[in-house]
Amino acid sequence: MSRLVVDFITCDAHGICAELLPEWITLDDWGYPKLHTGAIPPELLPHARRAVAACPTLALHLRDH
């Protein structure tokens, strides 16, 4: 089971993650990601990996639990 985690110190609020994974990530009023809690469903895992890879500041991570 994998979960998404954001390093808010590194995040610059580009919003690419929310564009690539809108089912799991929304943006707050300042453009920072708000993640659903819990494990990523298997059908969204490829999209989550793509969002992690596309993060320009490397602030988004997948963690196995």
pTM for this predicted structure: 0.90
CA distances from residue 41 to 13, 18, 28, 32, 33 in whole angstroms, order as listed: 24, 16, 23, 22, 18
Rounded distance between C-alpha atoms, residue 45 and residue 21, angstroms: 10
The predicted pLDDT at position 65 comes to: 76
CATH code for the domain of 19: 3.30.70.20
Tens-digit pLDDT profile for residues 11-47 = 999 999 999 999 999 999 999 999 998 999 999 999 9
Q: Which domain holds residue 59?
A: 2-64
Number of domains in the chain: 1
What 3 state SS string does 3-16 have?
EEEECCCCCCCCCH
